[in-house]
Every structure is written in C-alpha cells, then in structure tokens.
Amino acid sequence: MTETLPPRERVDPPAPRGPRLPDIPGPVETLGLAWRRLRKMSTALVLLFALALASVVATFVPQEPVIARTVELWRAGTAGPGAAWARVLDALSFFDVFGSWWFLAITAALFTSLTGCLFPRYRAFARVVRRPPAPGRGLDRQAHHEVLRTALPPTAALDAAETVLGRYRRRRVEAVDGVAQIAAERGHWREGGSLVFHTAFYLLLVGIVIGHSFGFTGQINVAEGSDFADTTVVYDQAKPGRFWDAGDHRGFVVRLDDFDVSYHPDFTPKDFVSTVTILEDGQEVRTTQVRVNHPLVYRGMKIFQARFGMAPRVVVRPAGGGDALFDDRVLLTQDGPFWVGRAKVSAGNPSPGDGRDPVPQIALDLALVPDAAIVDGELRINSPEPRNPRLAASLYAGQDLGLGRPEPISSLEFPQSDLVGQAMLTPGGSADLANGLLTVEFPELDQWSGFQVSHAPGRRVLLVAGMLVLVGLIPSLYSYRRRLWVEARRDGERTDVVLAGVALQRQTAFADEFAEVRDTLEAALAGPAPLRHAPAVPTPQKETRR
Amino acid sequence: MPNETLAQTSNTLFNIAFVTYIVAMVAYFFRLAFTRVSVAGVTSSTVTGTRIGLVGTALAVAGLALHLVSFVARGVAADRMPWGNMYEYSSGMALLVVAVGLVVVQRRFGYGHLMGFLLAAAVLMMTSGLLLFAEAGPLVPALNSYWIRIHTSSMMVASSIFIVGFAATALYLVKDTGERRVAASGGDSYTGSTVGAARLTPVEPDARPEGYEADGALAVSVASPLAQREVLSPVLFPLVPGVIAALFTLLVWRAPVAAIIAGSVAALLGTAAWYAVPYLPPAAKLDNLAYRTIAFAFPIWTFGVMTGAIWAEETWGRYWGWDPKETGSFFTWVLYAAYLHARSTHGWRGRKAAWVAVVAFFALMITFYVVNLFIVGLHSYAGPGLV
C-alpha cells in the first residue's frame, strides 16, 4: 500500500472576506476526506488488525456453520459462558463471524483501501518502468563509489562495463560535463511484485465469489448395494450456491458396490475405501474406488469419501408371518465402541376411521457391537471389525413417540413406558417382542459409506490467484531498487573509471553486490587488453565493507 | 508397523539432545558473563569467555546432530514423515530453531550472544513436546497424504523461523529501551528512525537546560553501554516473562508444578536478557535480523496455508471452512502481514512494528497450542477426529 502519503491537512486558504461561516465540510469534501483517510496505510493496518481480531473471536467462539451443535449447547447454556452471554454473542453475530455484516464491512473496507492504494501505484509504476535509467551526478558523493584505472580507452572501458552490468537495465548517456556514462538500474520487481501480490487478492475474491455463487455441496450416506442419484432431493445438508439450481445437478446415479475398512491395532481406522459404479440412464459407465484423499471426479462433480458406518438390515413383521412393516438397512453411527441408530417402523395413525383402534407409532432403537465378549461380567471389545456382531434392539410403541415432528429421530426422547421389548440378536436371528405381537429379524449386516458430493467452480481461479500471491510476494520482499553508474574519463595514457551506486532498500545486501560488481568490473577492465607495464597501476582504495 | 527399537533410540537421542542443549545454553550465558564491552560498544570476550563460548558452540552442534538423528529415526520407525503429531512437530521446530540459530544468527550475522536465547526457545519447545509425547505410530487416514510432506513441513519451517524472529524482536525491544533511556538521560531526545535504528538527535536548542553545550550526542556515545543495563528494571525483567510463561502453562496444561518451573525458567531468561543488554548488537541490527527472518518465513507460511487449502479440498471437499486451525493460521498470517506493512509505514516503524510482531508471535503460539489442544475442530487434538 502507499508509502507516500497524501497530506492530511492542507494549508488553509487566505481568510475569505465577508461573513465567516463555520468550517463544515460539504458532502463532497467529506467523501474526499474519507477517501484519503481510507487510502492511508495506517488505516489499512487498523483494518488488518480488525480482521485478525474477528478471526480470533471466531476461533474461541464456536461457529454455527462449522459446529452447529456446540453453538446450540452454548445457546441453551449447557456449554460455554451461559445463555445470557450467548444472547449477547448472538446479537453481535459472534456465532457466525464470517457471515456477519461487520466482517463483510471490514473486508469491503480493506478492499476499498487496497483499491485506493493500488491505482496511484499502478500509474506511478508504469511511469517509473518506462523511464530509462537517469544519469547520475556527483558520483563521488554517492553512498558507494570506487575509482578504477585502466589502460582501455573510455569507450572500450564502458563496453566492458556494459557486459559486467548485463543483468541491469542500462543506457549510455552523456553526463553534464560531456563525459560518457552508463546509467543502470535494477529491482523494479520489488514494486512490481508487490503490485502482483496485492492484485492477486482481487482474483482470490473473484474465485471465492464464483465458488459461493455457482457451487454446490451435499452430504449423502448410502448402504452397500444401494444407490443414489445426483438430484436436489437426495442430499442431506445440501448447501447450494446462490445461482445453483435443480437443473444443474447431473442426474447420474452412484451405486455403492462395496465398502472396506481396515484398522490399526489401536482400533483407529487405517483406511476406508468405497467401490462405486456410476450409471447413466441405467448403463454402467465407470466402476472405481473412492477413498480418503482420493476423490472421484465425474462430470464436474467431486465425490469424496467422508464417513462410514454399520448398516444392519432389520425386518419388523407381525408375529407368525405376514407383510413386513419395516424392511431396511438402518445406518448406524459410531458412539464409542458401539454403533447406534434408530428407525421409524410405523408412523402410526391416531384415527384410521371405520371405528378401528388407533395404530400406534412404532420405533426401533438399535445398538451394535461389532466384536465383543462379556468377560467376568464386563464388556470387552475384541476388535472394531464385525467378526462377531451383536445387535441390541429396543422396540418402542406408543400413541405419540414424536415421530410426526420435524426434528430428527435421533434427538427424540422415547418414554420408558413405551418400551415394549428388547432383544439381543445375531445375524440371521430373530426375536418376538411386544408380548409376541411383533417379530424383529436381523438377517444380515452390511456397511454404509458417507460421501460429500460437491461442485466447486472457481478453484482454478483460486489456484492462479494463490500462485500470483507467491510470485508477487517473494520479489516484493527480496528484490530491491538500486542504481549504478559507470563513468569513464580519459586521464592521459589511462582511463579513470568511476563506479558509483545507491540502493533504496536492503543496504547490506547492496554493499555485497556493489563489491562484487566492482571486482568483476576490475577484472573486465584488466582482461582483454593487457596493461602495458602494469606494475605502475596503483591499487584502488577499497572501501571498507559494512 | 512402528519399529520399537528405533523409536526407543529416537526417544533416547531426543533426551540426550535436550540435556546437551541445556548445557550449551548455560555455556552461552556464561560466555555473556565473561564479555567485556568497550565504550564504543565493541564486545570482546576474555580468554575464559572465548573458551566457554567454543564449548557452547561445540555442544550446540553436537546436540543438533543427535537431535537430527533422533528426528530421522522417529520417521523411519513410524515409516512416515516425522511430523505427524504435536510431539514430533515440536521436536522438528526445536531442531530448526537451533539450526537456524547456528547457521544464520551465529555464523552469518555473527550474533553469538543471541544463541543462548535461541537454545532456550528450543528447550522450551522440546519441553512442551515432552508434555505432549505420543508414541511413534501411524496416522489417521485423512493425514495419510503426500500433502503432509509439503503442508506440514512448510508450517513447521515457517514457525521455527518465526520463533527466531520473535527472539530477535523481543531482544530488539529490550535493547532499544536501553538505548533510548540512556539517550534520554544524556539529555537527548530519541526519535525512532527508518528501521528502528538508534539514531540520536539533539533536542531543540531552546529546550536545553541552561549552559548545556551542543555536544549531547557525544555525551551519549561516551556513556558506557553498561549504562543500558542500569536504566532497565532488574525486577520487571524476570517478573513479566515469568508471569506470562506461568499463566500460559497453567492455562494450557493445568499443571501448577510445570507452571512454576516454566515461570522460573522464563524469569531466568528475563534476567539473562537484562544482563545481556550491553552485549547485544545495536537495536537497529536486531530489528534488521527480526525483519529478515520474518520476511523469510512469511512466504513459507503463505505457501503452507495455500497447500493446506489444497489438501483440505482433497480430504474434506472444501478448500476453506473456517475450521479453528484454518482460522488460526489465517490470523497469524494477517498479523505477520500487518508487521511487514507496519515496517514500511511512517509512524509505525521501529517499536510499534516490533510490538505487532510480538502480537503475531502470540497468535502463532495460540494457533499451535491452544487451538490444537482445546478447540475442537478438524485439526483438533482435543477431541476425537482428525489431527
């Protein structure tokens, strides 16, 4: 951002004649004042601090888009500083810092400030880059200077110097007193790099906006052998971008053929892999594996391996046969060594009409242990793999279990009085529950796999922006503006070559570079045409290096 | 499968390196005590001082070699890159701090007097690593990616250089305070200059006391550098770092004994800093060292954040989700960016910019310790989930 600051206060114009009015700036002046203020580097610094502070808040206060559950607990007062404080935090949008109006305002102000800084700098940079190196005056007064003597004539000496200064932008000029001079400069990449770095943030913003507007992210869990189609309705927690609509879904079908998980000896998962087949219009298109860190990309949609779990198939039917009330695989989630989940067996019907009794709501509460044994009255987990699965099924039936309510079944509280039976099942086993009215069967145990399906446009833009950030950043920190001048003046038989230089930044680095140039130049001046009777040449005084 | 013998060897070497660093640190601090500083600010060691200094350097180099072997052995034992958990990461940071200290600070810049402080930083890192010790083991699937080589190592390298930068910044602030106060007591006003360079400018003539001649600057330069120590409080120097370190340890580990130890160590370091003031390089040079190290680490940190985003995209299906660790790395980045900007802004150069760097370093520490250990997120070490 700008280093040269515009004057904050102008010199007052001569006092106007006539009645004096109070100095109230008009709207235009106020805007101008605000603009100048915003362009100042110190303003940008304050805005950067505000941005950092906002992020610190977002680190310590749980964020709703990241962990909504913790935020709920904070609001309820069961976690965090209490419900009253949570209300204050809510009023300040502290639970969604990055979606709050004030965070947007800080970002907008930063970008405005950046724009205000950058445009004058672009203009200045274009001017400076086009301008050829300026001839130097008073070379012996420059921060670094050195006089070398050579037998070469001035033109040849300057030719030699041009070779030495190969990496500099240079030109031959005639200095004030008619002496030939090379003016050279280097290090425009400092400012250029800084401009690239800062400009890349606009591109970064564009990439983020594209992703948020035209992207889509959805979560889906599917049991082995089942499939899902890429359509709007299928996803849990779908996060479509503002301009993403139902027609943008590709409509292909993903079938989970197989799921595999392997474990470390400490029971933590080592790797989990889904084998999936993609179908278009019922035709198999591709069969491939999706694993962590190796997503599947198909028609612009990326399918990531996200979660997994146990999916026992459970059948509930009236005792003594008959049509099943429920026959499906229940997706269980991990809870310590157990896999737990619930299934809605019957939604019930309080008034079926025709004078029949109301049909109760029926639900199953399941807990699965993959491989455990009871040793000395204590449960011992042998392995996380389903070598010896046991399914604990609890059947609830009641007039109102809450199944009709919109909240997820897992968060319902089933009254203990509605528990009508419990059974421990092995694969292939069954049990009669509810006074022998219902049979619960556990025919087989499958697994399920959870995917995140997303379409994230603008990623390439972001990648390019990121590269530009780095490409700009490095020269803006390491490159430095420096100027060198070489003057050759005939002095009888010999030529005095004056080398002078100055650096705008990184003085110590330049001192080294100047010494190097000096040494190379000395060698070049001595090189092609050997000096006649060389011993007479006095050794030039070497400047002490700092 | 982790190789038990090799993992054990790695742990043993780690402990030996740890002790070696402590002895080397003590040697470096002893060297300070055997240093004489002339009126012109030139430091020279007595014969004993030089010998102790050599011993310190030799021990630091030996410790570094052992530490390196320990680090590599850990990687071989676990059959992966040795930066998969906080213990390994802390060990790697300490290793890099000592390496950067020896190669850059001592050898290239010639500021051997700073090595004691850098070794102290390394020892503190290793202590926190020991408190967070984890056996050599495999990684959770999400970490099992080649990006761990790129992302985590860049973060580790950048963090360790930031630590060196912090040491330089803190010592700059100390030295600068000393220089300022000595200048002020000499009747001169002190104005911050371009890069915090100690530049003494006489106050306005009419502001001078009666009979005061215009050789104030001379009076200051004649004052012994030892005066810089006298103008600094010998109470506050151990007290402030001691209290901060004790509170931080209490907050992070909830271990009162560890807090007392950490507090005492920090207090000793504070005293060492107070004692070392006259022998430290001039404030301007320390500031330059701080800037060069931070400017070197900043692009690496930037690269690390970016590769982290790419990795997150591959693992979690989004490049940025404001996960606490992502947020932490972001505000650390913003604060170091603010430091770099502050350093080229009028009115912010010198001390103000240095304070920004101090704040940025605390942000870095929060990102590493507090976010990893207490805040549940995808990177979290606090709860179940991915590292």
- Model confidence pLDDT, tens digit, residues A89-111: 989 989 999 989 999 999 999 99
Instruction: Find the residue in B nearest to A271 (Cα).
Output: B141
The Cα A272–Cα A384 span in angstroms is 13
**% pLDDT > 70, chain A:** 91
Tell if the CB–CB gap between B322 and A49 is shorter than 8 Å.
no
Same domain, A283 and A172: no
Nearest to A63 among B137, B322, B363 (CB): B322
Q: Minimal Cα distance from B302: which residue of A?
A: A470
- Among the partner-chain residues B335, B346, B366, the one whose CB lies closest to the CB of A5 is B346
Domain shared by A257 and A342, yes or no? no
Confidence of residue A471 (pLDDT cuts 50, 70, 90): very high
Of A45, A302, A304, the CB nearest to B341: A45
Distance from CA of B295 to the nearest CA of A (A): 7
Neighbour-count burial for A383-414, b at 16+ CB within 10 Å, e otherwise: ebebeebbbebbbbbbeebebeeeeebeebeb
Residue A394: domain span: 310-350+358-449
Size of interface A-B (CB pairs under 8 A): 127
The reply to whether A302 and A225 lie within a common domain is yes
Residue B281, judged by CB atoms within 10 A of its CB (0-12, 13-18, 19+), counts as buried
> Has residue A368 been placed in a domain?
yes
Residues A422, A433 share a domain: yes
Q: Which chain B positions have a beta carbon within 8 Å of A455's beta carbon?
A: none
* CB atoms B330 and A55 under 8 Å: yes
Q: Are A517 and A167 in contact (CB under 8 A)?
A: no
Q: Which amino acid type is present at position B200?
A: L
> Which of A92, A127, A162 marks a domain boundary?
A127
Number of domains in chain A: 4
Residue A543 within any structural domain of the chain: no
pLDDT at residue A19 is higher than 70: no
| Residue A431 maps to a domain | yes
- Select from A48, A103, A54 the least CA-distant residue to B335: A48
Residues A334 and A304 in one domain: no
Residue of A nearest to B333 (CA): A52
DSSP conformation class of B104? I
Give the C-alpha distances (Å, rounded to integers) separating B267 from A306, A323, B274.
Answer: 48, 78, 10
In this complex, do A508 and B330 lie within 8 Å of one another by their Cβ atoms? no
Q: Do B313 and A456 touch (CB under 8 A)?
A: yes
Contact A48 B337 (CB under 8 A): yes
C-alpha B202, offset from chain centre? 35
Q: Is the pLDDT of residue A14 over 80?
A: no
Task: Answer yes or no: do A42 and B327 touch at CB < 8 A.
Answer: no
- Tell if the CB–CB gap between B331 and A271 is shorter than 8 Å: no
Average pLDDT over residues A486-500: 87
CB contact under 8 A, B141 and A291: yes
| Residue in A45, A56, A269 closest to B141 by CB | A269
Closest-CA residue of B relative to A41 is: B345
Spell out which residues of chain A touch residue B337, defining contact as CB-CB under 8 Å: 48
Of B147, B315, B348, the CB nearest to A45: B348
pLDDT beyond 70 at A189: yes
The CA distance from A276 to the nearest CA of chain B, in Å, is 18
Q: What pLDDT sits at residue A357?
A: 74
With beta carbons less than 8 A apart as the criterion, state whether A219 and A237 touch.
Answer: yes
Q: What is the pLDDT of residue B122?
A: 94
Residues A431 and A314 in one domain: yes
ipTM: 0.83
User: How much is the average pLDDT of A295-314?
Assistant: 91
Contact A474 B145 (CB under 8 A): no
Residue A13: the pLDDT is 53
Q: What is the mean pLDDT of residues A231-238?
A: 83
pLDDT at A492: 81
Q: Is residue A103 part of a domain?
A: yes
| Chain A positions in Cβ-Cβ contact with residue B327 (cut-off 8 Å) | 55, 58-59
Is A270–B141 a contact, with Cβ atoms under 8 angstroms apart? yes
Report pLDDT digits (tens) over A20-48: 666 777 888 888 888 888 888 888 999 99
Structural domain contains residue A205? no
Q: Are residues A280 and A324 in the same domain?
A: no
Q: How close is the nearest chain B Cα to the Cα of A47, in Å? A: 9
The stretch A418-447 carries a mean pLDDT of 88
The answer to whether A44 contacts B341, with C-beta atoms less than 8 Å apart, is: yes
Tokens linked to B33: 């005590």
A308: helix, strand or coil: strand
How many of the other CB atoms lie within 10 Å of CB of A415? 11
- Residue contact B303–A470, C-beta within 8 A: yes
Q: Which residues contact A298 (CB under 8 A, 6 or more apart)?
A: A250, A252, A278, A286
Whether pLDDT at A529 is above 60: no
Query: For chain B, give me the number of helices (H) and strands (E)?
Result: 14, 4
| Band (A539; pLDDT cuts 50, 70, 90) | very low
To the nearest whole angstrom, how far is the Cα of A463 from the nearest Cα of chain B? 9
From chain A, the residues in CB contact with B315 under 8 A are: 292-293, 304
Domain for residue A536, yes or no? no
Mean of the pLDDT values across residues A337-342? 88
Residues A269 and A226 in one domain: yes
With a cut of 70, which residues of chain B have pLDDT below it?
1-2, 38-43, 186-224, 377-387
pLDDT digits (tens, 9 = 90+) for A119-177: 999 999 999 999 888 888 888 888 899 998 888 888 888 888 988 888 888 888 876 67
DSSP state of B56: H
**Within this chain, do residues A246 and A325 fall inside the same structural domain, yes or no?**
no
Phi, psi of A15 (to 5 degrees): -55, 130
- CB atoms B341 and A470 under 8 Å: no
Q: Which of A52, A41, A439, A344 is nearest to B343 (CA)?
A: A41
Q: What is the dihedral of CA A142, A148, A151, A153, to 10 degrees?
A: -10
Gap from B327 CA to chain A (nearest CA, Å): 6
How far A510 CA sits from the closest chain B CA (Å)? 14
Helix runs in A479-531, H state only: 507-526
Residues A42 and A111 in one domain: yes
Task: Find the CB nearest A42 among B138, B142, B347.
Answer: B347
A217 domain-assigned: yes
What is the identity of the amino acid at B309?
Answer: A
Mutation target vs A (from B148, B313, B386; most A CBs, 10 A cutoff) = B313
Measured from the Cβ of residue B273, the count of other Cβ atoms closer than 10 Å reads: 23
Q: Which residue of A has its CA nearest to B317?
A: A304
- Burial state string for B179-198 with b = 16 or more CB within 10 A and e = fewer than 16: bbbbbeebbbebebeebbbb
Tokens coding B101: 């200290």
Distance in Å, alpha carbon of B348 to nearest chain A alpha carbon: 8
Domain match, A332 and A440 both: yes
CATH number, domain at A165? 3.30.310.80
- Interface contact flag, A59 B341, Cβ < 8 Å: no
Residue of A nearest to B295 (CA): A477
A489/A461 same-domain check: no
CB B67 within 8 A of CB B25: no
Q: Which residues contact A296 (CB under 8 A, 6 or more apart)?
A: A276, A288, A290, A302, A303
Kindly list the residues from chain B whose CB atom is less than 8 angstroms away from the CB atom of residue A306. 316-317
Alpha-carbon gap: A104 to the closest alpha carbon of chain B (Å)? 15
Q: Please answer yes or no on whether A59 and B298 come within 8 Å at the CB atom.
A: no
Other residues' Cβ atoms within 10 Å of the Cβ of residue B234: 13
CB-based contact B356:B336 (threshold 8 Å): no
Domain termination site, one of A111, A127, A143: A127
CB–CB of A293 and B137 under 8 A? no
Q: Does the residue A198 lie in any domain?
A: no
B124 phi, psi to nearest 5 deg: -65, -40
Q: What is the per-residue burial (b if ≥16 Cβ within 10 Å, else e) of A305-321?
A: bbebbbbbbbebbeeee
Q: Write the CA distances from A46 to A39, A53, B74, B301, integer angstroms.
A: 12, 10, 44, 22
DSSP state of B113: G
Phi, psi of B256 (to 5 degrees): -60, -40
Chain A residues with beta carbon closer than 8 angstroms to that of B377: 66-67
Residue type, A186: R
Distance (Å) from the C-alpha of residue B310 to the closest C-alpha of chain A? 9
How close is the nearest chain B Cα to the Cα of A267, in Å?
11
Yes or no, beta carbons of A269 and B338 under 8 Å apart: no
Nearest CA in chain A to B326: A59
List beta partners, residue A444: A313
Query: Which residue in A has a C-alpha nearest to residue B194's C-alpha?
Result: A505
Mean pLDDT for chain A overall: 85
